[in-house]
């Protein structure tokens, strides 16, 4: 089994594939101003098994295209959406976020939780803008420094793994530079990382390793996750996910 199949196996059964939470998705919906509007067209990019897509479908009057590059995650999303009674409002789409084929100016909102890092925040906010209607909403969560200075060990790790990590003010300046007005920001609370993401993942490690006969590639994946969890536990005061809600400017 190659690394991608191993990662699918570790994450497919999870309620979410990245840090986040139902209350936080709902808060971003409130900030977006989309509530109460009708016939919305929304894309959830890097949707995983549907954590946010299903909340969007249950809280808004919207058709949602749920995009992920991994069809296995979309299969699980359809199962969950069916169980939640919203399958007819969610269209799964297996596609890469760097090659999306939405019509220009066709979307009321682009949602993307814990996923834009795959192409980088700046590339994502720049390239996805054309799909939004004027005034359309971009709602993304993104790795963010929570303070002006960080411990060197933490800075070294994330600067290597995700060089675009930056403060919220720097991320908002990028949104402004690329034709958006920021309308809301909040950092995800620790519970979104620990209770909703890392603890359930840790609970799957033993079964995952046993299922792959303790293969070196499986052990390497678990070791990397453990390192990241340890860093987060020690340094959560300095790093987290910021949730950014911004409106596309007409100019």
Only one of the segments 15-23, 27-35, 149-157, 212-220 lies at the binding site for ligand SAH (rule: CB under 6 A); that segment is 15-23
Q: Give the C-alpha distances (Å, rounded to integers) separating 127 from 35, 101, 113, 123, 154.
A: 26, 11, 17, 6, 30
The residue from 54, 60, 70, 109 that contacts ligand SAH (CB under 6 A) is 70
Q: Which is nearer to ligand SAH, 28 or 175 (CB)?
A: 28
Q: Count CA atoms within 13 Å of residue 211 on its CB side.
A: 13
The residue from 18, 21, 124, 240 that contacts ligand SAH (CB under 6 A) is 18
- Determine if 10 is a binding residue for ligand SAH (CB under 6 A): no
- Determine if 28 is a binding residue for ligand SAH (CB under 6 A): no
Q: How far apart are CA 246 and CA 242, in angstroms?
A: 13
Q: How far apart are CA 108 and CA 6, in angstroms?
A: 35
- Determine if 51 is a binding residue for ligand SAH (CB under 6 A): yes
Residues in the chain: 251
How far apart are CB 15 and ligand SAH at their closest, in Å? 8
Q: What residue is closest to ligand SAH based on CB?
A: 48
The encoded tokens of residue 78 equal: 């359809």
Q: Which residue matches tokens 């790795």?
A: 143
- Determine if 107 is a binding residue for ligand SAH (CB under 6 A): no
- Determine if 131 is a binding residue for ligand SAH (CB under 6 A): no
- The burial of 210, by beta-carbon neighbours within 10 Å (0-12 exposed, 13-18 middle, 19 or more buried), is given as exposed
Binding site for ligand SAH (CB under 6 A): 16-18, 20, 46-48, 51-52, 67-70, 73, 96-98, 113-115, 118
């Amino acid at each position: 089994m190659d690394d991608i199949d191993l990662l699918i196996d570790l994450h497919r059964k999870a309620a979410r594939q990245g840090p986040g939470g139902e209350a936080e998705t709902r808060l971003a919906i409130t900030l977006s101003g989309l509530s109460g509007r009708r016939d919305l067209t929304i894309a959830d990019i890097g949707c995983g098994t549907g954590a946010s897509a299903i909340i969007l479908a249950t809280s808004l009057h919207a058709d949602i295209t749920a995009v992920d590059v991994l069809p296995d995650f979309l299969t699980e999303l359809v199962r969950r959406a069916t169980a939640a009674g919203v399958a007819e409002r969610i269209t799964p789409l297996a596609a890469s976020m760097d090659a999306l084929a939405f019509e220009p100016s066709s979307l009321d909102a682009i949602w993307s939780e814990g996923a834009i890092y795959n192409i980088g925040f700046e590339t994502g906010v720049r390239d996805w803008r054309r799909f939004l209607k004027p005034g359309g909403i971009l709602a993304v969560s993104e790795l963010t420094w929570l303070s002006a200075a960080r411990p060197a060990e933490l800075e070294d790790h994330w600067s290597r793994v995700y060089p675009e990590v930056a403060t919220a003010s720097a991320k908002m300046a990028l949104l402004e530079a690329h034709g958006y007005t920021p309308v809301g920001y909040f950092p995800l609370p620790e519970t979104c990382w620990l209770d909703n993401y890392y603890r359930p993942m840790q609970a799957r490690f033993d079964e995952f390793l046993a299922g792959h006969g303790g293969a070196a590639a499986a052990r390497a994946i678990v070791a990397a996750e453990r390192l990241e969890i340890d860093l987060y536990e020690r340094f959560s005061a300095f790093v987290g996910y910021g949730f950014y809600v911004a409106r596309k400017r007409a100019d």
